[in-house]
Structure 1
Amino acid sequence: MNSEHDECAGDTAGQLSDGGRTDPATETFVAHRNLLFTVAYEMLGSAADAEDVLQETWLRWTGVDLGTVRDQRAYLVRITTRQALTRLRTLGRRRESYVGSWLPEPLLTSPDVAEDVELADSVSMAMLLVMETLAPTERAVFVLREVFDLGYDEIAEAVDKSPAAVRQIAHRARAHVAARRPRGVVSLAETRDALDAFQRATETGDLQGLLHILAPDVVLVGDGGGVKKAVLRPIVGSDNVARLLTAGLGRVTGAASLRPAQVNGHPALILRLDGVLDTVLAVRIDDGLITGLYAVRNPEKLSHMERETALRR
């Protein structure tokens, strides 16, 4: 486990019982921690907040009598979900005062995340933004049911609803997401081809090349968090987006580098200025064209781009 969120319970792994062996509670928590982080991250869209949720989960887990727990994995998921729900409601109020557009925190992910198509789809920038439009309980139910395939009874315990109510919520959330999610599963090769064409066009200032790869109704969203300069409102339309990109990148000095990377399970681009990470650019692709561009510049959201983060289902 080599990601920064491993430090969240880093001390937990070091809590050893007599004889130098890890105690059962710690072993179980560490074994499921990447799964729990993924649950929290999908619910919150923030790695930093997901780490805080894991720490809270750990503190509660240490007070549990393991002898009374029938399914330890399910129990941990339930604790994590409840903590994430509490934080999600708080975050909603905090994001109302966020400067400019809010985007999820990007993660540098390993190739195995991309190989799990359903997991990669669920943590993509586009899908996380779709899930932002769900109410907190709807989001929790959608994540636990559609991504992690938990039973309605398990989900009901996690969100304090009846199984019948959870079924209704799941149906409503599924329909809501289906109406807004990308129109079809896009292969890694298709995404990579689109990004290659986009990168060539931006690096050479090829306006026509950009217009060729951008959908007519493409939307560019920037997130500077009030710390870095970024568009405060989404820019809509291929002509507007292409001209903004060519003008903006045209001002970048020769010390800039635009390189591909695996971000949230999908190909993306990373802009570095003088070797320092400046922007993570993720995309949404529909029918071979880029329909969404998500530029994260807020430095507070880029800390998980230096080392890979392990995600699990």
Structure 2
Amino acid sequence: MAKTAQEKADLKAEKLYEKTHKKKYRTRPGDMLFNLINYLIFILFTVACIFPFYYLFINTISDNDLVVKGVINFIPRGLHLDNYKSLLNVSDLSNAFLVSVGRTLLGTAFMVAASAFVGYLVTKQEMWGRKFWYRFLIITMYFNAGLIPWFLNMQMLGLTNTFWAYIIPGIVAPYNIILVKTYIESIPAELEESAQIDGATHMVIFRKIIWPLSKPILATIAIFGAVGHWNSFTDSLILMQSAPTLYTLQHRLYIYLNTASNLSALMESGGQVSDAVLKSALSAKVIKYTISMVTVIPILVVYPFMQRYFEKGIMLGAVKG
């Protein structure tokens, strides 16, 4: 009898909880309107972000004459893949692609390794001049000499017209070092202390404990570095003036963009343009779209696989200041 009474009391309490719970979280018309507006804003923002890539893609697979006339806006027409095949015949484009891939892989690898090691060093209290070197790194984020002194410095170091001009200047990245340092400080100190008791050196601790546990933040800065190297073209434009074989893919895209823009401005001003030059201008416009799509594809393919590390690393790296 007591059990039955207890069950009734529990059932009554459960119904009361459900009643108050539903009443508390009942959706009101104002909430529905607010959610609807939020959804609409985010949908429009998503479309605004995706549409440029979609526009590029449909213009690369549509009839080239229609693309030149500017009639391809939403739906592709005259589907073909000849533009992507024709890229193989564009002079020095494959070499520019290899240069971009090489600088991205090597530059990112060196930057991640240096950021991880320096970030670990500046967490050690026994490091000589730790505060000075750390503050010196931070100062470089806010002050620089400018473009001309930078070029003169690269010239005096013998880095102009060489591939290493893409790699060496970006090895030390102060912002990434700060992220790694903050992340390492969030790792329990007991792990390192137990390894020190067992006789492990700092290098062993870094290689067997810190490096494996820091994969999320290292993946995060790897994304930063890879995107920066892949999209960079100003260093190629300024430093590789006498070495066209070291032009990056973005630099080649910049050249085609200027070619199409200059010829378009000439035609609009009423200048006389031969059929051959006009044909090359039209080809440059189509190639510009195609190369733009090719330069975007690697980042679009890689980012989804790195996103989970990116979110985890950037959040944990921001816990401490």
Q: TM-score range by the shorter chain?
A: under 0.3
More helix as a share of residues = 2
Q: Which has the higher strand share?
A: 1
Q: TM-score, normalised by structure 2?
A: 0.21
If the length of structure 1 is used for normalisation, what is the TM-score? 0.22
